[in-house]
A and B are shown apart, each in its own frame.
Chain A
Amino acid sequence: MFSGEVLYFIQIWVMINILIILGLTSSIYIVQFISARNKARKTKTTDELLRIFHASLAASSDKKLITIPSLSAKHHYFDIILTINKFEEDIENNAVWLKLREQLAKEQLVATARKYAKSRYWFKNFQALMCFNFYMDATDDLLVEKLLHSKIPIITLHACRVAIKYSMPRAINTVIDWLNETRKPNRSLYIHYFKSSSQEVITLLLERFLKEDHPYIKVGLYDIFANLLPQQQLLAMTLIDSNAELLELKLAALRMLSHLQPENLGELLAAEHQDEHWEVRALIAKQMGIYAVTEKANILLSLLKDSEWWVRLNAAHALLQLNDEGKQTLLQLNKEDDLYAYEAAQHALQHYNKKLEN
């Protein structure tokens, strides 16, 4: 079939394969042995660090912090950071520990973090941000801003969190600009991070909001403010936006109105109950129920006869939320008068009864 040379080549190839098989097989057993040993060593490191943290915390008080012994020489940097997180799961918001942690980060970790922040490997960037989350000074702002523009989502998200924690104006404005991006898998996360905003960040957000004219960024800002305590400075602009042509902006502004709860909320919501967009009408019905706008129950009755199922359903639910009178109104509805309103009412009543049963 083949000449002698080819057969010789095949023979050599088979021999090499067999040698590889033998080599690989023995490697597998060696690897299994080594990994069992490494696992034990790693657990030992974490336990040792935890012991140090516990001892330091026990020896410290509000007035006198002890210095945590040098860790970085003996332990891997990321081990220390992860063990800090593990330790904090057990001790929940201990003020003395927070001071100790800051001291540890400042004296032993931040120098490496600055070096890691400049690395091209995301994992080192990540470790840097974890440390900055514990401690950073003004000179580190530029590093965090650089990391905010990383292409790796986890780095961007972490940098965003750090920027909000330390109220970094330029970085925060960059994040707000991103709320306008068309492809936004992480948009809701950026908004979520602002939940923990300090007063300084809220001031930054308000400043930006009041001079912002991009409708989609405004929608994002409304979403951020919806997670914060009501900021009355927004009211004037919100009233203007509640008449916006862009549906998303109008809906966000109406939601914000309910959040701000001005005295004439009922009037303001009622004014929009005949809007051309069913989404607006459905939202009006829902908000009237949530904020118990009892004086406008007649509006809900008219929304109960709306041409859209969602508007009717929200109106029926809202009537149930208002008071017992609302419930009676729904019970008195007649199939023959308006079948659609009747069905929406029945659906809401069924849901209401089930909820009561549970």
Chain B
Amino acid sequence: MPHFIVIANFIILVYFLILAIGYTLLLIASFPGIMRSNLEAKYGHINKLLGTIEPPPVTIIMPAYNEGEAAFDAMLSVLKNTYQNTKLIVINDGSTDNTLELMIERFHLEAIPCIVPEKIKTAAIKNYYISRLYPQLVVLDTEHSHTGDSMNSAINACQSPYFASVDADTLLEKEAISNLMYSVLTQPHCVCVGGSVYVLNDCEFKDGEFIEQHIPEHFVAAIQVCEYLRSFLFARSGWNFLNGSLSFAGAFTLFERQAALDIGGYDLNNFAQDAEIVMHLHAHIYENKLPAKIRFTPNLLAWTDVPDTFGSYWNQRNHWQRGLLYSILSYFRMCFNPRYKITGLVTYPYFLLFEVLSPLFEFTAYTLLVVELIYGYTTLHNAALYFALAWSFITALTIGTFLLSNLSFNRYYKLQDTLIIFLLITVEMFGFRQFKVVCRCFGIGHFIINRLLGKKL
């Protein structure tokens, strides 16, 4: 067997070993936090807890571009939230269809004169609408620009000390804002809190109110139930132990407004602006020695639409991969830099190597296995053993996460759902994971080529 293949095999085995140890430690690290959050949430009755004080005002910001009526459910889910001090700012990002007209009609919007202080430079706000039906709803009509720019307009218009970003295809749980604020109020100076997001496809809801959860019928959407569980429940919760994850879901994350203003809001050059802003906040906290924290709450907060075809999944992951790479490389100064303490010394390098660049290693591993089989450097039995190792590890990890989910904020409690999830966990490694690896590798390649050609992200 050629020497380089032997070396590559060992590198991959060592990489996989460190990854496995890392993931296992994360799962263990997430356990006490999730259990405590769950006990506090169940036992403390978050809404009652917050009801005993006047809750701090929170503004939800929601960019919408050519969403039509599709955004109405998301808007209504915010407007019907149980948190008593909420305002919703929807930004019509220069939609070219009738989104604005539909909103005007549905929510009885009326244009009023308003000066929005431009604390962050943004595209022009054409009109400022308030709703006659829901006094807490405001719609900003802006020139079409970048999603980040729309969010920045909303940050400028927001008057509360906290704001949360919500996607127009996301449905909030009734107690979602209370749960996020609970995290803010029960920890010392929390400037950013991310929450768990689950898969919305095929679930039942009406007028923004969630009725019943179902596992999606389409395979691509259904398999993402396991992916989201793994990604949110233990991965991000585990990082709380080490000063917080570097990336939260754009679907629902809460920020302290002043902190967002201090860093100049969302980055306009990045379409993974939600991940970028969290990394920026981490850097900002360490660089200015601020006594602030970034936290993740494992409590289920929102349901979001996920791609249900291989094509749309490919596009989404390609986008995410490029955005994530751009974000992480923008803060490369944090890597192994003691100035950024545990985040620079552990979280950042681990995130870069074992999250962002992991598809490259995985792709190499699959390719090597095929090459070795073709050239007879390994037997079918051994190849099956390696595959069994990968399968059993991922399966054990996902089932561990599902157990954690059952011990805490589980929403898939029906026997049928449980069985389907077990089935999905079992089959994920047989093709879908490899597809995801190829798609993310393509994203990395796409990113590099665009950089070399001097193109935008």
Seen from chain A, the residues whose Cβ lies within 8 Å of a Cβ on chain B are: 1-2, 6-7, 10-11, 13-14, 17-18, 20-21, 24-25, 27-29, 31-32, 35, 78, 82, 85-86, 122-123, 126, 130, 133, 151-154, 157-158, 161, 183-186, 188-189, 192-193, 309-310, 313, 347, 354, 358
CA distance A124 to B148 in the complex (A): 41
* Chain B binding surface, main DSSP class: helix
B355 at the interface (CB under 8 A from A): no
9 residue pairs, one from A and one from B, having the closest CB atoms = A17-B392, A185-B161, A151-B188, A154-B185, A1-B378, A24-B399, A20-B396, A31-B406, A153-B185
B162 partner, pick from A86, A157, A185, beta carbons under 8 A: A185
Once A25-B399, A32-B406, A188-B57 are accepted as A-B contacts, the answer to whether A347 and B113 lie under 8 Å apart by CB is yes
Whether the pair B395, A126 counts as a contact (CB closer than 8 A) is no
Q: Give the segment of B67-75, B236-244, B380-388, B444-452 that binds chain A.
A: B380-388
Whether the pair A32, B382 counts as a contact (CB closer than 8 A) is no
User: Which residues in A have their C-beta under 8 angstroms from that of B162?
Assistant: 185
B116 at the interface (CB under 8 A from A): no
In the complex formed, the residue of B with least CB distance to A38 is B42
User: Which residues in B have their C-beta under 8 angstroms from that of A126?
Assistant: 44, 49
User: Which residues in A have their C-beta under 8 angstroms from that of B110?
Assistant: 354
Once A21-B396, A24-B399 are accepted as A-B contacts, the answer to whether A161 and B53 lie under 8 Å apart by CB is yes
Whether the pair B407, A153 counts as a contact (CB closer than 8 A) is no
User: Which residues in A have their C-beta under 8 angstroms from that of B406?
Assistant: 28, 31-32, 35
In the complex formed, the residue of A with least CB distance to B190 is A153
A-B contact pairs, 5 of them (CB 8 A): A21-B392, A21-B395, A25-B399, A31-B407, A185-B162
B43 at the interface (CB under 8 A from A): yes
CA distance A133 to B51 in the complex (A): 14
Once A2-B9, A10-B386, A11-B385 are accepted as A-B contacts, the answer to whether A158 and B418 lie under 8 Å apart by CB is no
Encode contact with A along B5-26: 1 for CB under 8 Å, 0 otherwise.
Answer: 1100100010000000000000
Give the Cβ gap from A43 to chain B, nearest Cβ, in Å.
12
Query: Max chain B CB contacts within 10 Å: which of A7, A32, A151, A161?
Result: A32
Give the Cβ gap from A335 to chain B, nearest Cβ, in Å.
18
CA distance A189 to B53 in the complex (A): 9
User: Which residues in B have their C-beta under 8 angstroms from that of A153?
Assistant: 184-186
Whether the pair B388, A14 counts as a contact (CB closer than 8 A) is yes
B189 at the interface (CB under 8 A from A): yes
B53 partner, pick from A18, A35, A157, A310, beta carbons under 8 A: A157
B3 at the interface (CB under 8 A from A): no
CA distance A13 to B372 in the complex (A): 22
Once A7-B382, A193-B54 are accepted as A-B contacts, the answer to whether A28 and B48 lie under 8 Å apart by CB is no
CA distance A157 to B9 in the complex (A): 58
Once A185-B162, A185-B256 are accepted as A-B contacts, the answer to whether A32 and B413 lie under 8 Å apart by CB is yes
B370 at the interface (CB under 8 A from A): no
User: Which residues in A have their C-beta under 8 angstroms from that of B13?
Assistant: 2, 6
Give the Cβ gap from B420 to chain A, nearest Cβ, in Å.
13
A14 partner, pick from B185, B186, B389, B403, beta carbons under 8 A: B389
Give the Cβ gap from B455 to chain A, nearest Cβ, in Å.
40
Once A183-B258, A193-B54 are accepted as A-B contacts, the answer to whether A122 and B186 lie under 8 Å apart by CB is yes
Whether the pair A152, B185 counts as a contact (CB closer than 8 A) is yes
User: Which residues in B have their C-beta under 8 angstroms from that of A21?
Assistant: 392, 395-396, 399
Give the Cβ gap from B28 to chain A, nearest Cβ, in Å.
13
User: Which residues in B have their C-beta under 8 angstroms from that of A358?
Assistant: 132
User: Which residues in A have their C-beta under 8 angstroms from that of B113?
Assistant: 309, 313, 347
User: Which residues in A have their C-beta under 8 angstroms from that of B57?
Assistant: 188
B97 at the interface (CB under 8 A from A): no
User: Which residues in B have their C-beta under 8 angstroms from that of A347?
Assistant: 113
User: Which residues in B have their C-beta under 8 angstroms from that of A192?
Assistant: 54
User: Which residues in A have their C-beta under 8 angstroms from that of B188?
Assistant: 151-152
B187 partner, pick from A82, A152, A313, beta carbons under 8 A: A152
Query: Max chain B CB contacts within 10 Å: which of A133, A184, A185, A309?
Result: A185
Give the Cβ gap from A28 to chain B, nearest Cβ, in Å.
5
In the complex formed, the residue of A with least CB distance to B385 is A10
User: Which residues in B have their C-beta under 8 angstroms from that of A25?
Assistant: 399, 422
